[in-house]
A and B are shown apart, each in its own frame.
Chain A
Amino acid sequence: MIFTENLGKKFDEFQAVDAVSIDIPDGQVMALLGPNGAGKTTTVRMLSSILIPSSGRACVAGFDTVTHAAQVRAHVGVLTENHGLYNRMPAGEYLNFFGQLYGLEDHKRREQAQRLLEHFGLAPNARQPIGEFSKGMRQKLALARALLHNPPVLLLDEPTSAMDPESARLVRDAIHTLRSEERTIVICTHNLAEAEELADQIAIIRQGRIIASGSPLELKMRMLGPLEFEIKLAVHLNGARPALPESVTPTSSGADWLRYQTDDPFKDNPLVLKRLYEQDLPVVSLQEVPRSLEQVYLQAISAASRAASRAASRAASRAASPEQHPYAQ
């Protein structure tokens, strides 16, 4: 449903997005993560056909974002970084206005607006000027606008920022529901817990380039090594080291617990349990040692920074000693 190939955007001399390739099938959620100014919003703007790519191409909802821009815009719901609400306008009128722009028929427009206002708890405020809304209410209204025309693709820039926990939960539940309706969703967020909860795919962007991508599990495996599991035993080990299958790597142990890493938990975990049972070591619990997406993110960003600084120093040393260059002289 969303496909990009070497997508790039240059503003004058500044390369905002560089060779971004993503493929998000129907009913999947991708979270775009990255520091401020990494190129997330520019990518979303290219996907919503507001910005024309300088290189590469993008296809959204089956339409090319450059040659079929109007169709792309008609099939995409965008929650922009800045909500873009009209302060003097009442909320109901605002949704009605955008419903008209998206070509919704009169009765459907009113029905849909009312449904969304009720869903987000804004129905009692329908006649209230938006300028009097709180930050969270504005965010919910902007999200309602993005959903108004029932788009198959949603591009959500910071969907829960400025929301109280209850409202954020409401929005996350809404995103779960939308995913189950086979919609394709891209979320730009700094909230890594939210990304981990919602996203099927994660892409980490730094300086316009994707530096890591994959499912949360794949990323954890790749960036932090194999999965780690902890077993709690019913007896004390007293310094003994129980024998484990060769396919797992013990990492640490305590009085009544031990940890190991495995590349294939589906195969190895039953083997570990069987081996411990054979050694008369009763198991109380087996659980994955939690590793957050935050660790993955920080690891990816610092690895990319290190690589960039190494490249920069190599370039500087080459410039400082031109005689070292193979093509010098």
Chain B
Amino acid sequence: MLNDLQLALVITRREIRDTFRDWRIIFPILVLTLIFPSLMNFTARQAIRFVEQYDAPLVADRMIPFLLMIVGFFPISVSLVIALESFVGEKERRSIEPLLCSPLSDAQLYLGKLLAAMIPPLLASYMGISVYLIGLYIQVGWTPEPILLVQIIALTTVQAILMVSGAVVVSSQTTSVRAANLLASFIIIPMSFLIQGEAIIMFWARYNILWWAILGQVLIAGLLVRTGLAYFNREEMLGHELDTLNFRWAGRRFLTSFQGSARSIIAWYRTELPTTLSQFKLPLLVSAIGLVIGIAAGASLADDFPIPARLLTFDLLKNGFIEGLEVMRFHSAAGVGTVWLHNLRAALIASLLGVFSFGVLGLLILILPMVVIGYITANIVLSGGAPLPFLAALVLPHGIFEIPAILLASAAILNLGATLTAPAHGKTIGEAWLVSLAKWGRVMLGLVLPLFLLAAIVEVYITPLIAVMILGK
């Protein structure tokens, strides 16, 4: 292990030395390390003087820590440039092949490059923070709370890891620096949202929330590093010379994975779908746990946000409820269609978000109905009512179909999102993703859509009757 790291550090040292030989990188680092913090210092001093005139020191109190975060962030933005260049730059300059011929393992090469892209900007960032703090101490005598300083340093570090790990994934999967730079938007845009969110937290002075931001970024960075390692391979570095989108190949790959060896729909249901489901054991388990956690989370909210008891009496179901639904033309094919499409839309949005978040956001969206069920059930219990009639009347009839559909959809989304973190030997990242997309398609088309349709039919035609029967007495 130590030997492994030593070889990775050989790469890191060479890269860092090379970085420090390039004035195009050194110059902005120096500016952002020495001049920019001094500028921020000046800004902070002027802000303090200005707000003191109006007896509003709060603004300055909030601005100084915010500027501290900004001073730390700006130098690490350089890491993006270095990281984006790390693999694809060498590939473009044709200097990668001797490295690939060496006895270095893929992980050593990847780790070495990752550290090399991270260390110089991080050191610059720490220096920038020091320059800013020393300047502030000398000029206005301000020192940060130790915990805030730790938070800012931790935040800066994880932001660097996050950006670099994302950029190295991009760099190792593209074939030109130009393509890597274009794809960098997928890192820059989320990072800018993140910084805006952190800025709000800083001005809001809810510094404890920063720990969650740090934790979240650590997790995402960990997943990105895993993705990079899973899909980094020597062959890809040399095998493809051009970034080409081969739609015909992609379509064929998707269709063959979707159809499998089945020659009829019945055969497909008999052989292919069960095969996919047997591969979904872990995502199904994780989704089931997620749904249970959702119910528990919903129940826990009832304490903080109780529903007034008068709203939980279901009196409305006593008279004219069914007639009301008929007036609204709820009992119709259009009603079924509306409910079905609503669920499909939710599943599609969850899938889209899942693709960009390793499946996590998709799962979170799909467990929201469970949160609502848990919340209402807990409120009924808190108001002294019996939860079972509510569950039996309003949840179970269509829930028998809808909850398994949610479970299956969540598992398919998780599997699709997690594809990026799991190594697929002998497959490119695109090919592995297409195979996962085909599995997602199998479950969605083969099971989730029909189950949602059944649930919608039951929800429109049967659930109201059962609800009136049980709760309308």
Q: Residues of A at under 8 Å CB distance from B?
A: 11-12, 45, 48, 50-52, 70-71, 73-74, 76, 78, 80-86, 88-89, 97-98, 100-103, 142, 145
Contact = CB atoms under 8 A, between A and B. Distances in A.
B101 interface: yes
Nearest to A101: B102
Contacts of B305: none
Contact of B21 (A71, A80, A81, A88): A88
Contacts of B18: 86, 88-89
Interface in B398-449: 426
A30 B388 CA distance: 82
Nearest to A71: B103
B30 interface: no
Contacts of B95: 82, 84-86
A4 to B, nearest CB: 18
Contact of B101 (A52, A78, A88): A78
Given A80-B97, A98-B102, A45 B238 contact: yes
A274 B33 CA distance: 92
Contacts of A97: 10, 14
A50 B97 contact: yes
Interface in B331-380: none
B103 A145 contact: no
Interface string B94-112: 1111111111110000000
B435 to A, nearest CB: 16
A114 to B, nearest CB: 20
A101 B7 contact: yes
Contacts of A142: 98
Interface string B232-243: 001100110000
Nearest to A76: B101
B101 A73 contact: yes
A76 B97 CA distance: 14
Given A70-B105, A84-B97, A85-B95, A50 B238 contact: yes
Contact of A51 (B21, B99, B238, B246): B238
B94 A84 contact: yes
Among A52, A84, A88, the one with the most B-chain Cβ atoms within 10 Å of its Cβ is: A84
B101 A51 contact: no
Given A45-B238, A80-B97, A103-B7, 6 more contacts: A50-B234, A78-B98, A78-B101, A82-B95, A83-B98, A101-B104
Given A88-B18, A103-B103, A50 B98 contact: no
Contact of A73 (B7, B22, B102, B249): B102
A141 to B, nearest CB: 11
B94 A82 contact: yes
A142 B94 CA distance: 13
B96 A101 contact: no
A145 B102 CA distance: 11
A169 to B, nearest CB: 25
A83 B98 CA distance: 8
Interface string B150-183: 0000000000000000000000000000000000
A12 B101 contact: no
Contacts of B7: 100-101, 103
Contacts of B96: 84
A97 B100 CA distance: 14
B235 A84 contact: no
A85 B96 CA distance: 9
Nearest to B101: A78
Contacts of A45: 238
Given A45-B238, A89-B18, A97-B14, A50 B102 contact: no
Nearest to A157: B97
B14 A73 contact: no
Contacts of B98: 78, 80, 83-84, 98, 142, 145
Among A11, A76, A101, A103, the one with the most B-chain Cβ atoms within 10 Å of its Cβ is: A101
Interface in B1-50: 7, 10-11, 14, 17-18, 21-22
B101 A50 contact: yes
Contacts of A76: 101
Interface in B95-137: 95-105
A51 B101 CA distance: 10
B9 to A, nearest CB: 10
A84 B93 CA distance: 7
A239 B93 CA distance: 67
A80 B90 CA distance: 14
A50 B14 contact: no
Contacts of B246: 12
Contacts of A102: 102-103
Contacts of A51: 234-235, 238-239
Contacts of B11: 101
B186 to A, nearest CB: 26
29 contacts: A12-B246, A12-B249, A50-B235, A51-B239, A52-B235, A74-B103, A76-B101, A78-B98, A78-B101, A82-B97, A83-B94, A84-B96, A84-B98, A84-B99, A85-B95, A86-B14, A86-B18, A88-B18, A89-B17, A89-B18, A89-B21, A98-B102, A101-B7, A101-B10, A101-B11, A101-B103, A103-B103, A142-B98, A145-B98
A98 B99 CA distance: 8
A6 B18 CA distance: 42
B376 to A, nearest CB: 54
Interface string B67-109: 0000000000000000000000000001111111111110000
Contacts of A86: 14, 18, 95
B286 to A, nearest CB: 32
Contacts of A11: 239
A280 to B, nearest CB: 65
Nearest to B97: A80
A100 B102 CA distance: 10
B320 to A, nearest CB: 66
A97 B94 CA distance: 17
By Cβ-Cβ distance, the 7 closest A-B pairs, closest first, are A82-B94, A84-B98, A74-B103, A84-B95, A78-B101, A101-B102, A88-B21
B243 to A, nearest CB: 14
A66 B97 CA distance: 18
Contacts of B426: 52
Given A86-B95, A88-B21, A48 B101 contact: yes
Nearest to A54: B426
B103 A73 contact: yes
A142 B426 CA distance: 31
Given A84-B94, A97-B14, A70 B239 contact: no
A50 B103 contact: no
Nearest to B105: A70
A145 B101 CA distance: 11
